[in-house]
Amino acid sequence: MQSQGAREYGVLKRGVIASGVALMLALTSCASPKTPARQADPIDQITLKRRACYGTCPVYEVSVASDGSMRFVGHKYVQLHGVAHATIVPEHWQRLLAAVDDADFASLQRRYAPHYGCVEGMTDQPWFRISISRAGKVKLVEVYEGCQSTPALEAASRLGRVIDAELDTARWIGVGCEVGSPEAWCY
């Protein structure tokens, strides 16, 4: 039979061990993980495609890769019909990435059109589509510009305007074209 002192020692020993384990668990839960959290794949390419309206809205597609290489394809109501190539400097690419983050692009839905997340405010307006490619996976957001404004729609529209500005699409679209607004007419 165990003596009273031996029993108390065993209880004390178990309590110390349990406290040590609890302390160790508490400390390791605050420590940084051995493997860092997986970062989202970097963006490989950003593409903006503007489609027709009932009128003379510019119709074109412009894309830029992470290395700064750009491709513009003019279709209708633009100064340059056909393909043009250019390069942007890294600062423009960084501003595009910041604009994608500001728009919270990953949270935007696939389509903003009548019956798809918007109430039609005007008819015969242009469409645009933004696509972002990451490690071969593409996310598309398509917007009908006749939708009544919502925060998500504003974010997508603002991103489209930033893409146009940072890639200087005005040099190929021409004078008198107001892209990215309901008044997108070429004179």
**Residues 176, 187: Cα–Cα separation, whole Å:** 6
The whole-chain average pLDDT of the chain stands at: 81
Kindly report the number of other CB atoms within 10 A of residue 25's CB atom: 9
Rounded to 5°, the CA angle 57-95-47 comes to 45
**pTM for the whole thing?**
0.73
CB-based contacts of 169, cutoff 8 Å, min separation 6: 60, 62, 72, 179
| Stretch 64-73: mean pLDDT | 98
For 186, which DSSP code?
-
For 105, which DSSP code?
G
Given a contact cutoff of 8 angstroms between Cβ atoms, the answer to whether 64 and 45 are in contact is yes
pLDDT tens column, 17-42:
545 444 444 444 444 444 334 457 89
- The position carrying tokens 């510009």 is 145
